[in-house]
């Protein structure tokens, strides 16, 4: 049994303009000690999928169906009170904005200790000792001093490390990291990614990494799920995904990166584009959502929706006309 199993998850939000279908149908699994990347562009449903696990979604307007099982326990049917015991303990979250996710009125040590006292019933002094250990774990120098500081005294990278320390304080089984390095500079990003890798190696934490950055995915993830318009279009171990992308959308994303620019005969440098726009999130037509933008689309793509097919071990793609295994994804550069 996998640590986490999501089956047939659908999430919609009621808005004034009708129901927005953020996640249309997704199934995925997460193994112990695995780093799984959920990637795709804004609005593809990657964050909503992950936030459905601890149900951190507006309760009044969310319509959620499907199954989310953590260690075999169904989470979607749990009442709010029981979920609260799971949040921060079994499933914890690191958000994108380290500037606003910490409470400015309390020391970082207090904020870490608070989680420990709530979930683990630690005494005040035991919690403080543990807080220092946690700061050390996430690579903060001089943790005994830092523990007494307030968030505004820390830089962005340090705050994000504190957020991670809070998230892993109770040794969660699943850590959800929502664009954890997007707000950070590149030289800081590398260090924070190392912290995640280290946590997985040392504590065996399973991590769901939500990101739009294919460089970050390549750096740290074991497996990746590429989402488009609320569905998974491709899923594979990372090396396999980059070497042999099958879905035209995955391949298109990789070719659109500035580092994949090609030089034309007249000396112009060009990036491969994905024309068109993401379909609106209201209707859910019975066709491949990507077909209007797809260079490989045929007639059948406009009438039916492709299901996920297997292409080798752990490699799934939802496409009637997938790329062949031989075609290299990254366009060779210059």
Partner 1 sequence: MTTPVLEVKDLVKHYHVRGRGQAVRAVDGVSLSIGQGEVLGLVGESGSGKSTIGKCVLRLTEPTAGSVHLSGRDITHLSRRALRPLRRDVHMVFQDPYSSLNPRFTVGQIVAEPLRRHGVARGAQVDERVREMLERVGLGAEMRGRRPHELSGGQRQRVGLARALVLEPKLVVADEPVSALDVSVQASVLNLVADLQRDMGFSCLFITHDLSVVEFLADRIAVMYLGQIVETGPTKKIFAEPQHPYTQALLSAAPEPDPARQRERRRVVLAGEVPSPLDPPSGCRFHTRCPVAVDTCRTEEPALIGVRDEERPVACHLVTATEVPDITGRD
Which residues here bind partner 1, judged by CB under 8 A?
A: 41-42, 155-158, 185-187, 189-191, 193-194, 212-219, 238-239, 242-243, 252-254, 256-261, 268-275, 277, 330
- CB 83, CB 59: distance < 8 Å: no
Q: Which contiguous run of DSSP H or E holds residue 231? A: strand 231-237
Q: Is 174 helix (H, G, I), strand (E, B) or coil?
A: strand
Residues 6+ apart with CB under 8 A from 12: 19, 20, 21, 22, 23, 62, 63, 64
Q: Which is nearer to partner 1, 212 or 305 (CB)?
A: 212
Q: Which is nearer to partner 1, 243 or 325 (CB)?
A: 243
Taking phi over 0 as left and psi of -120 to 50 as alpha, with beta for the rest, 314 belongs to left
Compute the least distance from the CB of residue 198 to partner 1, in Å.
Answer: 12
Q: Which is nearer to partner 1, 107 or 330 (CB)?
A: 330
Compute the least distance from the CB of residue 52 to partner 1, in Å.
Answer: 22
**Would the CA dihedral through 50, 186, 277, 238 be positive or negative?**
negative
Integer Rg of the chain from CA:
21
Compute the least distance from the CB of residue 142 to partner 1, in Å.
Answer: 11
Compute the least distance from the CB of residue 45 to partner 1, in Å.
Answer: 14
Compute the least distance from the CB of residue 105 to partner 1, in Å.
Answer: 22
What one-character-per-residue DSSP string does 83-94 give?
A: HHHHBTTTEEEE
Q: Which is nearer to partner 1, 132 or 183 (CB)?
A: 183
Q: Which is nearer to partner 1, 85 or 243 (CB)?
A: 243
């Amino acid at each position: 049994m996998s640590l986490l199993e999501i089956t047939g998850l659908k999430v919609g939000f009621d808005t004034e303009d009708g129901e927005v279908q953020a996640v249309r149908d997704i199934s995925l699994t997460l193994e112990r000690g695995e780093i799984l990347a959920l990637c795709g562009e804004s609005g593809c449903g990657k964050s909503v999928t992950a936030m459905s696990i601890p149900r951190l979604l507006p309760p009044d307007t969310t319509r959620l169906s499907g199954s989310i099982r953590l260690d075999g326990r169904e989470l979607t049917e749990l009442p709010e009170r029981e979920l609260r015991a799971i949040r921060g303990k079994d499933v914890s979250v690191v958000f994108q904005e380290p500037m606003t996710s910490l409470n400015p009125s309390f020391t970082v040590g207090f904020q870490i200790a608070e989680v420990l006292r709530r979930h683990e019933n630690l005494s005040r002094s035991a919690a403080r000792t543990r807080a220092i250990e946690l700061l050390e774990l996430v690579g903060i120098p001089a943790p005994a001093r830092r523990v007494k500081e307030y968030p505004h005294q820390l830089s962005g990278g340090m705050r994000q490390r504190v957020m991670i320390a809070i998230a892993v304080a109770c040794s969660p089984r699943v850590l959800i990291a929502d664009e954890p390095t997007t707000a950070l500079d590149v030289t800081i990003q590398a260090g924070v990614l190392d912290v995640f890798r280290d946590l997985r190696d040392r504590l065996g934490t399973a991590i769901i990494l939500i990101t739009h950055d294919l460089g970050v995915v390549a750096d740290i993830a074991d497996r990746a799920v590429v989402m488009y318009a609320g569905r998974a279009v491709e899923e594979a171990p990372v090396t396999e995904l980059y070497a042999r992308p099958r879905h035209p959308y995955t391949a298109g994303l990789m070719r659109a990166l500035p580092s994949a620019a090609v030089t034309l005969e007249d000396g112009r440098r060009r990036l491969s584009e994905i024309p068109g726009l993401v379909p609106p999130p209201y209707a859910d037509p019975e066709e491949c959502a990507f077909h209007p933008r797809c260079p490989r689309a045929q007639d059948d793509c406009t009438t039916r929706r492709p299901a996920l097919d297997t292409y080798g071990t752990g490699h799934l793609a939802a496409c009637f006309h997938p790329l062949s295994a031989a075609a290299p994804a990254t366009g060779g550069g210059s």
